[in-house]
Amino acid sequence: MAERIDGRARAAEVLEGVKARAAAFSAAKGRLPGLAIVLVGEHPASLSYIRSKEQAAGRAGLYSETHRLPATVAEDALRRFVGRLGEDERLDGILVQLPLPDALRQEEVLAALPPEKDVDGFTTLNQGRLLAGERGLRPCTPLGVIDLLRWHGVRLDGAEVVVIGRSRTVGRPLALMLLEEHASVTVLHSHSQSLSDDVRRADVVIAAAGQAGIVRREMVREGAVVIDVGINRIGGKLVGDVAPDVAEVASAMTPVPGGVGPMTVAMLMANTVEACTWRS
């Protein structure tokens, strides 16, 4: 039976480290690292995520402020608002909670963020820096996955890693970050023709497709490490992209909930402290 990779436990350790860094920064600079969260509309999942981020900022000793705007806000007005936050010297990180209402273009809104305050790592410049191997703010979920693997002692150098999903927020940046760890990376997606065969040869399987149960027991080789990024609501219950019986063959596996989710929030706080350090 797979060993549980406890994201909640590791996230608590990360937040303690952030708290120590925030306190040291405050002692040196006379202010706390600052995070602004922008929520547009009343998307139920977004409301839940915002609460968890507010709580984590408090636990990490950061200054935070949340701005709730109506779903009817005009795109130009939202861009100007985000731009004004970018000019506020109390703020080191700004997060625009996604998804945005359909009438708003995500790329246009994110373009108003100063890259040095883009703690989600979603701006074109920060994603370009990742591609170029330059220093920049990295997306939080991929950061959390890499951190969990390191924490659990998983060797990535030379490992065969399969990433299922090619989203701009998880799959693509995660593949690049795994390459930086010297892993051999295969990215699979909805058009892949040999999903089962490719997954079966992997030392590490990372499921980020947003499709419940896409990774099944017979697809995973004995002893593989499985990271489940998926969050799907089925019959009022949260489930991942990995079928539960995969735990019978994997050597280690993240739970859903309690795996990658807490790490995403913790890495957002870590990015905020990193941003304030670079800016200072």
The residues annotated as belonging to the active site are 53, 97, 120
Half-sphere exposure of 230 (CA within 13 A, CB side): 29
The β-bridge relationship of strands 232-234 and 237-239 is antiparallel
H or E element that contains 185: strand 184-188
CA dihedral in degrees (140, 143, 149, 151; nearest 10)?
A: -90
Two structure tokens written together for 229: 């990024």
User: Which helix (H) or strand (E) is 36 found in, with range?
Assistant: strand 34-40
240 CB-near residues (< 8 Å, 6+ apart): 207, 212, 228, 229, 230, 231, 232, 254, 255, 256, 259
Please give the C-alpha separations between residue 175 and each of 24, 129, 231, in angstroms, as whole numbers: 33, 14, 19
H helical segments located in the chain: 7-29, 44-59, 75-87, 106-110, 124-132, 140-151, 171-180, 195-200, 260-279
Strands (E), 220-260: 225-228, 232-234, 237-239, 252-253
CA distance 126 to 119: 10
